[in-house]
């Protein structure tokens, strides 16, 4: 694993109240769970060696330029409309090939979770990128608690389907609910997290509150938001973008500068917040996470398995 310098809160927090956060973190100890804190408290999280030392985007950038088609097709729609989504109470149905299937409340899921801050690069298939300081825990830790049965080969995810609160779901275009999936070994990789916060606070609705997937070496559309269902399966699950346009979007969707989208190059990216005259940056294989994940794809033709 590549060890990178961790930023402290002063570096990553654009607000003036970072000292409070730092005090909370210092006093919180190593094994942290939301259950120990009052609901409205800032989230305490341990730093992670998986964090990049790249400078994070501002909270404003991360929360005002979004893809969350349940709320519309414009980048500004999620910030405008996602506030309508009720995220409390929230439960996640865990099923399929697991030992302990059931509907689990978010508080139950978070009770023993070790929350970490993971500052990750984030690369959308549309060739823009950000750096985001997520708070979350490994998907592997949740799947281990659910107990994965030997026959399971994939993990399927489903987003909330609630047209009454999601204007985009009242329009056509996508066969709702939004669905995604990972191969089991991708799901168990330590880089794969379920995020419940960013910048030390609960996840804003437009970023997929209250719980969303983050898979930093894949194009952003794999990182499904506002998850209500996780199913362990034997067969490769249906995924929204592949179902919509299989020639353009595959199941794997690994960030790869050498495999272009049929309509544009993936060789470089535009960093959000860079300004009008910022040069595009080269896109890195597996979004810079090759050391951790290249082995998952040994022997596979990545141009075919895009």
Shortest distance, position 139 Cβ to ligand MTE, whole Å: 15
Asked if 31 and 114 touch (Cβ cutoff 8 Å), the reply is yes
Name which of 5, 6, 1 is nearest 46 in CA terms. 6
Q: How far is the CB of 162 from ligand MTE (least distance, A)?
A: 12
Nearer to ligand MTE, 78 or 148 (CB): 78
Near ligand MTE by CB under 6 A: residue from 18, 69, 90, 217: 69
Stretch 132-171 residues interacting with ligand MTE (CB under 6 A): 159
CA–CA distances in Å: residue 293 to residues 54, 186, 207, 218, 288: 20, 8, 25, 10, 10
Give me the DSSP letters along 114-140: --EEEEEEEE-TTSEEEEEEEEEEEHH
Name residues contacting ligand MTE, limited to 8-67 (CB under 6 A): 66-67
Residue 230 as a binder of ligand MTE (CB under 6 A): the answer is no
Structure tokens at 126: 């549309």
Is residue 129 within the footprint of ligand MTE (CB under 6 A)?
Answer: no
Of 221 and 297, which has the nearer Cβ to ligand MTE? Answer: 221
224 binds ligand MTE per the rule CB under 6 A: yes
Residues linked to residue 227 through DSSP beta bridges, in sequence order: 159
**CA dihedral sign, ordered 288, 293, 299, 304:** negative
Among the listed residues 51, 207, 239, 287, the single contact to ligand MTE using CB under 6 A: 207
Residue 157 partner contact from Mo ion, ligand MTE, none using kind-dependent CB cut-offs of 5 to 8 Å:
none
E-strand stretches of 172-292? 179-183, 193-198, 201-202, 212-214, 227-233, 268-271, 281-282
Which position's Cβ is nearest ligand MTE?
A: 220
124 binds ligand MTE (CB under 6 A): yes
Q: Does 79 bind ligand MTE (CB under 6 A)?
A: no
Going by C-alpha positions, the residue among 78, 123, 101, 109 that lies closest to residue 196 is: 109
* Nearest approach, Cβ of residue 57 and ligand MTE (Å): 9
Give residues in contact with Mo ion (CB under 5 A): 67, 124, 220-221
Q: Where are the beta strands (DSSP E) in 48-192?
A: 91-96, 102-105, 116-123, 128-138, 154-159, 179-183
**CB 240, min distance to Mo ion, A:** 11
Q: What are the C-alpha distances in Å from 157 to residues 96, 256, 281?
A: 11, 23, 31
Given the complex with Mo ion, which of 13 and 67 has the nearer CB atom? 67
> Which spans of this chain sit near ligand MTE (rule: CB under 6 A)?
66-70, 124, 159, 178, 207-208, 220-221, 223-226
């Amino acid at each position: 694993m590549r060890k990178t310098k961790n930023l402290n809160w002063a570096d990553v927090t654009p607000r003036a109240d970072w000292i409070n956060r730092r005090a909370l973190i210092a006093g919180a100890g190593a094994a942290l769970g939301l259950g120990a804190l009052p609901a409205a408290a800032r989230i305490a999280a341990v730093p992670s060696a998986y964090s990049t030392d790249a400078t994070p985007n501002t909270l404003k950038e991360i929360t005002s330029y979004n893809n969350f088609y349940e709320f519309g097709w414009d980048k500004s729609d999620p910030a405008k409309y996602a506030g309508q989504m009720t995220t409390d109470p929230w439960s996640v149905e865990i099923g399929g090939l697991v030992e302990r299937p059931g509907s689990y409340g978010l508080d139950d899921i978070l009770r023993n979770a070790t929350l970490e801050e993971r500052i990750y690069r984030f690369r959308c298939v549309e060739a823009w990128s950000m750096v985001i300081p997520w708070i979350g825990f490994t998907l592997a830790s949740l799947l281990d608690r659910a107990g994965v049965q030997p026959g399971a080969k994939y993990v399927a995810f489903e987003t909330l389907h609630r047209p009454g609160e999601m204007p985009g779901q009242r329009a056509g275009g996508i066969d709702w609910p939004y669905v995604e999936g990972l191969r089991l070994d991708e799901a168990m990789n330590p880089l794969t997290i379920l995020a419940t916060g960013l910048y030390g606070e609960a996840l804003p609705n437009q970023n997929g509150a209250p719980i969303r997937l983050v898979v930093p070496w894949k194009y952003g559309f794999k990182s499904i938001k506002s998850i209500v269902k996780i199913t362990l399966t034997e067969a490769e699950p249906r995924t929204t973008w592949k179902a919509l346009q299989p020639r353009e979007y595959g199941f794997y969707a690994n960030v790869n500068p050498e495999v272009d989208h049929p309509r544009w190059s993936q060789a470089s990216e535009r960093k959000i917040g860079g300004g009008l005259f910022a040069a595009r940056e080269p896109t890195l294989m597996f979004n810079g996470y090759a050391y951790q994940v290249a082995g998952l794809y040994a022997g596979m033709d990545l141009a075919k398995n895009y």
